[in-house]
Amino acid sequence: MVELNFARVRPEAVMDLTRVPELREWGTENGRLRVGAGITYTRVIRELGDRLPGLAMASRTVGSPQIRNRGTVGGNLGTASPAGDALPPLYVSDAEVELASVEGTRRVPVAEFVKAPKRTATNPEELISAFLVPEAGGPQQYAKIGPRNAMVIAVCSLGLAVHPERKEVCACIGSAGPTPIRACEAEDFIRGVIEEEGLWESRGELAEAALGRFGELVSEAARPISDVRGTAAYRTHAVGVLARRTLGWAWNEYRGGI
Amino acid sequence: MRLNLTVNGEQRETDGVWEGESLLYVLRERLGLPGSKNACEQGECGSCSVYLDGILVCSCLVLAGQAEGSEVVTVEAVSGDSGLHPVQEAFVEAGAVQCGFCTPGFVVATHDLLRRNPEPSEAEVREALAGNLCRCTGYEKILDAVRRAAARGEDAPR
Ligand SMILES: Cc1cc2nc3c(=O)[nH]c(=O)nc-3n(C[C@H](O)[C@H](O)[C@H](O)COP(=O)(O)OP(=O)(O)OC[C@H]3O[C@@H](n4cnc5c(N)ncnc54)[C@H](O)[C@@H]3O)c2cc1C
Ligand code: FES
Ligand code: FES
């Protein structure tokens, strides 16, 4: 719409998807949530805050009430911006994106769906119809850096999910690479530490050194550029700090029981 | 194209709407409702805030055709027959208006906040108004106005 207002685009046709009620629905399917692409951030916060706490946290950071009332998770997927706030939470929960056309529907892991900045796996005849994601089995976090508390595109961000049911911790970097990036080495490292020390069972403390190393490994996974919002060096450093902090918060929540 | 919609309770029809037009443009230029302001046309400033089917939106980000058949309430309808709405009175009393360009947007956004949350905390007020920019007042008087309006506790009529 902004592009239209500024006469940057003059599309031959536009489609109003807000009139398709199916795209606004959500429910469960084989133990996972299937959420219509047309769900707004306001509704994610209100209706799915307990089931998808990470996505709800990310949704709270989007724009303003006016923007959250109107902007959708499907639109965030379609935009495929590395700074899209809905993306890291979907990555850390291994969400799938459902694409529909007259030919039928297919489901693509979100990390394969997002190809490059503003490029997705959607074919011209396809629409994003929904995303599929398991309900949170443990604590989730989302942290975002920007010059204000609202109305900012992320300088960088981090989504994190503790998955006690599969004994994993997943972390995804936002806005510090061409696409969101899962920090696999950091994930492997922390899984090893937790397992070795039996922390899933004991719910014991995570050592400061382990949190620090986790942050370092997340920093190493970042592939940022320097732009008007921040330098590559700042982003690399900052995602490490976010990783250390969000893991600390999420692990404390796990220790306190769910 | 022809557009049919309800604006401030009145059924309106307008012809010759260009498909790429925003709801804001239609309200201001075709329906004679200049209360909603056009300042940024990119969702950043909130001056164009209206209710679309009861939901607070930036009308500059709504394609006119998307509003077909829907119900729009603009700042013009916030005040009733009995004069200013308590939110508007509070803005006047607090001196929260300087050039006034941002005021309609703030009034509608404040109206929305108080109907959702009649007793908002300071943080909730700031959060709710984060999408509205003012270049004149420095916001203190606006926050003051919101506090006054909330303290009055009058249930905002729609
Ligand atoms: C003032 C402002 C502030 C913003 N702040 C943030 C922010 O803080 N964080 C953030 O992440 N984003 C932000 N955005 C960007 C935008 O609001 C979000 O990306 C939002 O999720 C877009 O959703 P939409 O429904 O409006 O999508 P649209 O703008 O309608 O569409 C976006 C793109 O996705 C495509 N698309 C949409 N739906 C589908 C579908 N079902 N199938 C296939 N393609 C589809 C469209 O063709 C288009 O290319 C902001 C935008 C504005 C104007
Ligand atoms: S004119 Fe719509 S938000 Fe600024
Ligand atoms: S009073 Fe001038 S912009 Fe707010």
pLDDT, tens only, A73-117 = 999 999 999 999 999 999 999 999 999 999 999 999 999 999 999
Q: Do A66 and B128 touch (CB under 8 A)?
A: no
For residues A173 and A184, give the distance between their C-alpha atoms in angstroms, rounded to a whole number: 11
Of B43, B66, B112, the CB nearest to A67: B43
pLDDT at B157 over 60: no
Are B56 and B112 spatial neighbours (Cβ–Cβ below 8 Å)?
A: yes
To test the pocket of ligand 3, the residue of B45, B47, B49, B98 to mutate (highest count of ligand atoms within 8 Å of its CB) is: B98
Q: A8 at the B interface (CB within 8 A)?
A: no
The ligand 1 atom nearest the CA atom of B61: 53
Domain with CATH 3.30.390.50 in chain A: 140-255
Average pLDDT over residues B119-126: 96
As given in the structure block, the two tokens for residue A201 are: 């069972």
Q: Which amino acid is at B24?
A: L
- Pseudo-torsion of CA A97, A99, A105, A110, nearest 10°? -20
Write down the pLDDT at residue B154.
57
Q: A30 at the B interface (CB within 8 A)?
A: no
Domain with CATH 3.30.465.10 in chain A: 2-133
Q: B46 at the A interface (CB within 8 A)?
A: yes
Write down the pLDDT at residue A149.
86
Q: B99 at the A interface (CB within 8 A)?
A: no
B24 CA to centre of ligand 2 in angstroms: 9
Say if ligand 2 is within 6 A of residue B41 CB.
Answer: yes
Kindly list the residues from chain A whose CB atom is less than 8 angstroms away from the CB atom of residue B66. Answer: 16, 18
Domain ranges of chain B: 3-76, 86-155
Average pLDDT over residues A187-213: 97
Place of tokens 């950091």: A186
ipTM: 0.94
Nearest C-alpha neighbor of A26 from the set A8, A10, A46: A46
Nearest C-alpha neighbor of B87 from the set B155, B16, B11, B17: B155
- Crossing angle for the helix pair A53-60 and A41-48, to the nearest 10 degrees: 140
Rounded to a whole number, what is the distance in Å from the CA of B81 to chain A's nearest CA?
Answer: 27
Kindly list the residues from chain A whose CB atom is less than 8 angstroms away from the CB atom of residue B131. Answer: 63-67, 150-151
In chain B, what percentage of residues exceed pLDDT 70? Answer: 97
B98 CA to centre of ligand 3 in angstroms: 5
Are B76 and B52 spatial neighbours (Cβ–Cβ below 8 Å)?
A: no
B136 CA to centre of ligand 1 in angstroms: 30
Of B19, B57, B60, the CB nearest to A69: B57
Q: A225 at the B interface (CB within 8 A)?
A: no
Average pLDDT over residues A244-254: 98
Q: B67 at the A interface (CB within 8 A)?
A: no
According to CATH, the topology of domain B3-76 is: Ubiquitin-like (UB roll) (3.10.20)
For residues A63 and B51, give the distance between their C-alpha atoms in angstroms, rounded to a whole number: 17
Coil, helix or strand for B83?
Answer: strand
Of B44, B61, B128, the CB nearest to A65: B128
Write down the pLDDT at residue B53.
98
Coil, helix or strand for B48?
Answer: coil
Q: Do B65 and A63 touch (CB under 8 A)?
A: no
Write down the pLDDT at residue B155.
53
Kindly list the residues from chain B whose CB atom is less than 8 angstroms away from the CB atom of residue A18. Answer: 66
Q: Given its phi and psi angles, is residue B137 left (phi above 0), alpha (psi -120 to 50 degrees) or beta?
A: alpha
Q: What is the pTM of this model?
A: 0.96
Domain A140-255 superfamily per CATH = CO dehydrogenase flavoprotein, C-terminal domain (3.30.390.50)
Kindly list the residues from chain A whose CB atom is less than 8 angstroms away from the CB atom of residue B62. Answer: 1, 70
CATH 2.40.10.10 fits B86-155, yes or no: no
As given in the structure block, the two tokens for residue B78 are: 């916030």
Mapping DSSP onto H, E and C, the string for A110-172 reads: HHHHEEECCEECCCCCCEEEEEEEECCCCCEEEEEECCCCCCCCCCEEEEEEEEHHHCEEEEE
The ligand 3 atom nearest the CA atom of B135: 3
Are B96 and B106 spatial neighbours (Cβ–Cβ below 8 Å)?
A: yes
Q: Do B58 and A16 touch (CB under 8 A)?
A: no
Residue A215 has what DSSP assignment?
Answer: H
Model confidence at B156, pLDDT cuts 50, 70, 90, reads: very low
Q: B63 at the A interface (CB within 8 A)?
A: yes
Q: Given its phi and psi angles, is residue A172 left (phi above 0), alpha (psi -120 to 50 degrees) or beta?
A: beta
Q: B88 at the A interface (CB within 8 A)?
A: no
For residues A84 and A113, give the distance between their C-alpha atoms in angstroms, rounded to a whole number: 14
In chain B, what percentage of residues exceed pLDDT 90? Answer: 92
Q: Looking at the domain that runs over A2-133, which CATH code has it been given?
A: 3.30.465.10
Rounded to the nearest integer, the mean pLDDT of chain A is 96
Q: Do A150 and B112 touch (CB under 8 A)?
A: no
Which residues are CB-contacts of B141 (< 8 A; sequence separation ≥ 6)? Answer: B94, B95, B96
Are A175 and A156 spatial neighbours (Cβ–Cβ below 8 Å)?
A: yes
